[in-house]
Structure 1
Amino acid sequence: MIHVFNTMTRTKELFTAIQPGVVNMYVCGPTVYNYIHIGNARSAIAFDTIRRYFEYSGYQVNYVSNFTDVDDKIIKAAHEAGISEQALTTKFEQAFNDDTKPLNIKPATVRPLATEHIDEIIAFVVDLIAKGYAYEAQGDVYFRARKFPDYGHLAHQNIDDLEIGASERLDDGELARKEDPVDFAVWKGANPDEAITWASPWGPGRPGWHIECSVMALKYLGTTIDIHGGGQDLAFPHHTNEIAQSEAHTGTTFANYWLHNGFVTVGDDNEKMSKSLGNFVTVHDLLQDVDAQALRLMMATTHYRRPLAYTKVAITEAIQIVKRLQTAYANLAFRVQQADAVQTPDVDFTAQVNAFKVNFMQAMDDDFNVANAMTVINDFATALNVYANQAAVSALTGQLALDEFAAEVMVIGVDVQPVANDDDTSWIDEQVAARDAAKKAKDYAQADAIRAALKAQGIILEDTAQGTRWKKE
């Protein structure tokens, strides 16, 4: 049974789906005005790993994650680039997809855009005003935070303390428009020079940041969702405001479980990585030099709630781990395909495989404890290597082990199975057979010549106890 740490209660709780066998999950996506940095990727990877484990456990996951495509940062970046807001956001929406695909981040079930839901957002705001939770002020519409019971509870902050902080951040104009400093915008009136606006009952304007996620979560997942996720920095104000406006609108619980991932830190002083601090590394740039599978493994195998320290040493270690996992899979896969592999089950090794599965699930059931799960996976890899070197190997049990091993490693987001290749490789097999024949005839010069010729074409031969294997460089 899966237990998750719920930020709302600050305790681990037994996960119980609203609809048996189905997980409805909303994860806040990026604001698309630049390439994503590895802090953004950390959140996407963390929740993709959680999603993958739910699916491994037999759940159907409806995974909704948005793009914020209207925002002050977008307007500023588009102006600086001399292009339209839509051209800017379209570019970086595609960049997000291009940069996350090599990291084995699965596409969202739905990836909605704020600009495609303006009518629903306006209707939502109209309802909040009608219920007395929101009010119009000079073209802006604000939510009355004090009217909502337990405002700030998710972030475990007192509303009076929040008022002091809000007063310090606001300019005089906005402070004058608000009834209370802690009130937040659900609709923003347009400035005269803004090009991206929509007509509304309160004049031209655009959505506030928080409202879009409430509207899209409710539209695609229902009035109460199972899991809402995002980075720790979103607990307040973003998720706090989502809860207030959503529950004011529906009269029911917005999300049953709130999950938040830790920050990525950089440098010797473990400084938080962010675009605003200017110390970020984009995934787009990083993938030019770093193996995507290794980056995925490094980021997925730190527990999602803990800070993740990005270092070159960690990447180097991850590269070696990925190679070890892939080699273990290849070793047994090669042996299973050999003619001497028996076609009857191996009871003892089957029991080992089943034990690895149980231990893997016990680790991941404990709030997705990937560190303990990786211990199981590493032991599993060792067992694959040992079994591949046995005198007798069961093809049936070997394949069972390979399938389970690949499934567990893919929860972490690493693919150990060789990439399918449609090229005709029969000529390579013929050259390998010719070299084997030359070696048997003790014509070592010919054998070496064949090896050298293959290497010149990027084909590496490996002599193993089970025969000669080849791979591409």
Structure 2
Amino acid sequence: MHAWPASEVPALPGKGRDLRIHDTATGGPVTLDPGPVARIYVCGITPYDATHMGHAATYNAFDLVQRVWLDTKRQVHYVQNVTDVDDPLLERANRDGQDWTELAERETSLFREDMTALRMLPPQHYIGAVEAIPGIVPLVERLRDAGAAYELDGDIYFSVESDPHFGEVSRLDAEAMRLLSAERGGDPERPGKKNPLDPMLWMAAREGEPHWDGRSLGPGRPGWHIECVAIALDHLGMGFDVQGGGSDLAFPHHEMGASHAHALTGEHPYAKAYVHAGMVALHGEKMSKSKGNLVFVSALRRQGVDPAAIRLTLLAHHYRSDWEWTDAVLDEAVERLARWRAAVSRPDGPPADALVEEVRAALADDLDAPAALRAVDRWVALQERAGGTDEGAPGVVSRTVDALLGVAL
């Protein structure tokens, strides 16, 4: 599966700062110090509907991580999946009377268009669950043969008790885990499971549903968590720098994925930091495909909204915060974009070297994009008020905003 085209990232003078970011697993900040190649895995979409603002906010956060690393003169090895076979996708296809593969291909294509418009840097490896199945099956067999998985009526379940580190990612108690498992695709009430929290690794073929050759597992399809683990281990290996996604993935998805990897490799940790973006709400409730309270990137683009304004709307909120989408927050971003573009189109301005360092410092401090925006606002206000004599300053500001914030002025 191919990703989307990369926009050029301008090189800035000097060198950026190492990223200090909030780690869900420790509950506090950690300073990341990758080697020459920083490794990041971000969980992708289940393509049964278009990209909404919740998606966009998540991918914006991890785009900033990439940009901070690139500014430190590192290379970035970024991997993202597409869950192109799963219950929600099949249910939507059945509801609408269409082929599930066509639905997945159409929505994945639209996602690529939205990411391109928003100037999100693409992953080096963009892998669909279906294409990963040949690598998933042997992992499930290994877990079963090692006693870390068991069969229940043809389905294969992972035993969470096989991982002594289970629970360290989300830091939740058993009752909270059980409630979230029921809400987020698990089946804690199924009779016969060794532990109600045990997640499915391989679902035996159901009548009328797609399935693949599972070798000794029998025909079926993979569970959600093992999909990402297989892709991440294949392309990044253990101990990669950042596992990223929305805050609703901390449990069960990232918790279970880490336990799968620990049991498979005997190594710990799966990722050095678990980083989670906040949720975006509309009319007081979290944007959700199941609730239908969505604002789509593609719909805004069709209405003529500049993608740079959409991105500025996202940047105006700290990545870990939960916030609400309104017309007012978009209007503020449209106004900000107009002021910034007017400022960098002028022939000169106040010196901008300090601004570069302010933006770097803000982003290195747990991706504080709102602080970075305020720094640019101050430079723009000073230029509007007093002008300036530095002919190179507007270009420096434009390149800084492009390289570090992903906004083309």
- 1:261-304 Cα distance to aligned partner (Å, 9 max, x none): 0000112xx21111112211222212222322111101122110
Matched to 1:37, the amino acid is H
Identify the match of residue 246 of structure 2 among 222, 231, 236.
Answer: 231
Selected match of 2:236 from 221, 233, 257 = 221
Cross-structure match for 2:394: 402
* Conservation of the 8 A alpha-carbon contact between 1:112 and 1:216: yes
| Cα distance in structure 1, aligned partners of 2:187 and 2:53 | 36
Q: Which residue of 1 aligns with 2:370?
A: 371
Q: Larger % of helix: which?
A: 1
**Residue 407 of structure 2 is aligned with which of 414, 419, 428?**
414
| Residue 85, structure 1, aligned to residue 84, structure 2 | no
8 Å contact from structure 1 (residues 143, 186) kept in 2: yes
Distance 1:124 1:28 in 2: 19
Select 1:257's aligned residue among 273, 276, 280.
273
Give the AA of the match of 2:177. L
Offset, 1:180: 1.9
C-alpha displacement at 1:171, in angstroms?
A: 10
**1:32 equivalent in structure 2:** 47
Worse overlay, 258-267 or 71-80: 71-80
Counterparts of residues 307-322 of structure 1 (less than 5 Å): 307-322=322-337
Matches within 5 A, 1:61-100: 61-100=76-115
Specify the code of the residue in structure 2 equivalent to 1:360.
V
- 1:14 maps to which of 15, 27, 31: 31
Cα distance in 2 for partners of 1:167, 1:138 equals 20
Deviation at 1:84, TM superposition (A): 2.4
Of 187-196 and 304-313, more deviation after overlay is shown by 187-196
Q: Assess, with a 3 A threshold, how the Cα gap between structure 1 residues 299 and 160 changes in structure 2: closer, same or farther.
A: closer
Following superposition, the deviation at residue 22 of structure 1 comes to 2.1
Where 1:112 maps in the other structure, the secondary structure is strand
- Alpha-carbon shift at residue 80 of structure 1 (Å): 2.9
Partner of 1:283: 297
Q: Could you say which residue in structure 1 is the equivalent of 2:15?
A: none
Q: After the TM superposition, which of the residue ranges 125-134 and 147-156 deviates more from structure 2? A: 147-156
Q: Helix, strand or coil for the counterpart of 2:190?
A: helix
1:191 deviates by 0.8
CA contact 2:246–2:278 (8 Å) conserved in 1? yes
Contact 2:180 2:251 in 1 (8 A): no
Return the offset for 1:174.
Answer: 6.9
Opposite residue 405 of structure 1, the aligned amino acid is V
CA RMSD of aligned residues (A): 2.4
Give me the identity figure in percent: 32
The one-letter amino acid of 2:30's match is E
Name the amino acid aligned to 1:380: W
Cα distance in 1, alignment partners of residues 182 and 96 from structure 2: 33
Change (3 A) 1:217 1:412: same
Residue 296 to residue 14, structure 1, CA distance change in 2 (3 Å): same
Q: Which runs of 4+ in 1 moved over 4 A?
A: 163-174, 383-387
What displacement does 1:50 show?
2.2
Unpaired runs of 5+ residues, structure 1, are 337-348, 417-473
Distance 1:198 1:281, change over 3 A: farther
Residues 166 and 218 of structure 1: CA distance in aligned 2, closer, same or farther (over 3 Å)? closer
Write the letter of the residue equivalent to 1:10: G
SS class of match (2:191): helix
- Name the CA distance, whole Å, in 2 between partners of 1:227 and 1:172: 28
Q: Distance in 2 between matches of 1:47 and 1:172?
A: 30
SS at match of 1:187: strand
Alignment partners' CA distance in 2, 1:180 and 1:242: 17
Structure scoring higher RCO (CA < 8 A, sep ≥ 6) equals: 2
* Structure 2 contact 89–104 (Cα < 8 Å) conserved: yes
Aligned to 2:64: 49
Q: How does 1:40-439 map to 2 (within 5 A)?
A: 40-159=55-174, 162-163=177-178, 175-252=190-267, 253-267=269-283, 270-289=284-303, 290-332=305-347, 352-385=351-384, 389-390=387-388, 393=389, 398-399=391-392, 401-410=393-402, 411-416=404-409
Asked whether the 8 Å contact 1:223–1:254 carries over to 2, the reply is: yes
Count of aligned pairs: 389
Q: Quick one: distance in 1 between partners of 2:75 and 2:184?
A: 43
Distance 1:170 1:241, change over 3 A: closer
SS in 2 for 1:274: coil
The structure-2 alpha-carbon separation of the partners of 1:190 and 1:383, relative to structure 1 and needing over 3 Å to count, comes to same
The CA deviation at 1:196 is: 3.8
Distance 2:331 2:182 in 1: 47
CA contact (8 A) 2:136 2:222 kept: yes
* TM-score normalised by L of structure 1: 0.77
Q: Is the 8 A contact 2:186 2:197 kept in 1?
A: no
Would the alpha carbon gap of residues 262 and 311 (structure 1) be closer, same or farther in structure 2, given more than 3 Å must change?
Answer: same
Specify the code of the residue in structure 2 equivalent to 1:265.
A
User: Which whole-Å deviations, capped at 9, do the CAs of 1:14-58 have from their partners, x for residues lacking one?
Assistant: 1111x2x32101110100111122111111112112222222232
Highest CA radius of gyration, 1 or 2? 1
Q: Distance in 1 between matches of 2:373 and 2:188?
A: 53
| Contact 1:85 1:196 (8 Å CA) reproduced | no
Is contact 1:151–1:244 with CA below 8 Å preserved after alignment? yes
Q: CA deviation at 1:160?
A: 5.6
Contact 1:49/1:300 (CA < 8 Å) preserved in 2?
no
CA separation in 2, counterparts of 1:374 and 1:162?
37
